[in-house]
Amino acid sequence: MNAKKIAAERAVDYIKDGMIVGLGTGSTAYWAIEKIGAKVREGLNIKAVATSLRSEEQARKLGIKLIPFSEIDKIDITIDGADEVDQDLNLIKGGGGALLREKIVAAASRQLIIVVDESKMVDKLGAFPLPVEMVKFGYEITVRKLQSLGCEPVLRKVDNDTYITDNGNFIVDCHFKRIDNPSELHNKINMIPGVVDNGLFINMAAKVIIGYNNGDIKELI
Ligand code: 5RP
C-alpha cells in the first residue's frame, strides 16, 4: 500500500467546487495534485496556486487552472507534505527545497492540510536536518551565525552543484538532532540577517492526514 498516496488522496476529499487551492511540493503532494487533476477532468471547478515550479508544471499538464498569487486574497485549502510532524502538529518542511513558497502559501491559506506517511511522525522535531533558505550574499557569515545556535550546517548540493531554490537562494540543512523549543528556534533563525526563512512551520497545520503502510488512515486536528 502506498501510504503517501492514500493520505494525499484523502485530503483531496476536502476540496469543493469554487475553491482556490494551494498545491504543495514533494512526493506526497504529487499524489494530491494527480487526484485533483483527475477530479478537474470529471468537472471539479477550482483554481490553484503552486508552491514550486515543479508542482506548477505538473498542474499545468493535468489541466488544473493556475492563477498568479497577485490575484488572490485568500487560499481556501492548501495540501502539502512535511519531513517531520510532532505531537503539536508543528512541522519541519523544505526537504524538497520549496519551504519559502510553501510558507507564503500556507500563511495565506484558511486551512493547511498536511499529508504524510507514518514515518514522518516524531515525538521531537530535529532528527531531520532543518532547511534554512538564505541569500547568497555573505552566506558564509550567515552559516556561522546558524552554527552558533548549536547545529552542524551543511550547504545543500545536488550532483556536486550548489542547490538553488526557485527564488534564486541557497539552502543550508542544519543538523540540530533534537529541537526542544521549535517556536523559539524559528524566531532566532529568522532574526539572522541573510536568512530568508526556515523550514519550521509552527501552529500552521490545521489538519495532518497520516497514511499507514497497512492501508489505514488517521486524521489529527
Ligand atoms: C518540500 C517539502 C515537502 O513537503 C517535504 O520535503 C516532504 O516531501 P515528501 O512528500 O517527498 O516526503 O517540504 O519543500
pTM of this structure: 0.94
Q: Return mean pLDDT, the chain.
A: 97
CA distances from 119 to 85, 152, 210 (A): 10, 23, 9
Residue nearest to atom 7 of ligand 1 (CA): 82
Residue 95 has which C-alpha cell? 526537504
ipTM: 0.97
* Closest atom, ligand 1, to C-alpha of 80: 4
Q: Which residue segments constitute the domains of the chain, with CATH numbers given?
A: 3-121+202-220 (3.40.50.1360), 130-197 (3.30.70.260)
Residue 114 has which C-alpha cell? 498536511
Q: How far does the centroid of ligand 1 lie from the alpha carbon of residue 153, in Å?
A: 19
* Closest atom, ligand 1, to C-alpha of 27: 11
CA distances from 72 to 19, 49, 51, 84, 176 (A): 11, 9, 14, 29, 36
How far apart are the C-alpha atoms of 164 and 166, rounded to whole Å? 7
The annotation places the binding site for substrate at: 25-28, 80-83, 93-96, 120
Q: How far does the centroid of ligand 1 lie from the alpha carbon of residue 83, in Å?
A: 6
Query: Which sequence positions are flagged as catalytic?
Result: 102
Nearest residue to 32 (alpha-carbon basis) of 129, 118, 112: 112
Question: Partners of 121 in the beta sheet?
Answer: 85
The annotation places the binding site at: 25-28, 80-83, 93-96, 120
Give the strands of the sheet with 20-23, arranged side by side. 47-50, 20-23, 75-80, 109-117, 207-211, 217-220
> pLDDT by residue (tens digit) across 152-183?
999 999 999 999 999 999 999 999 999 999 99
Q: How confident is the model at residue 1 (pLDDT cuts 50, 70, 90)?
A: confident
> pLDDT by residue (tens digit) across 43-99?
999 999 999 999 999 999 999 999 998 888 899 999 999 999 999 999 999 999 999
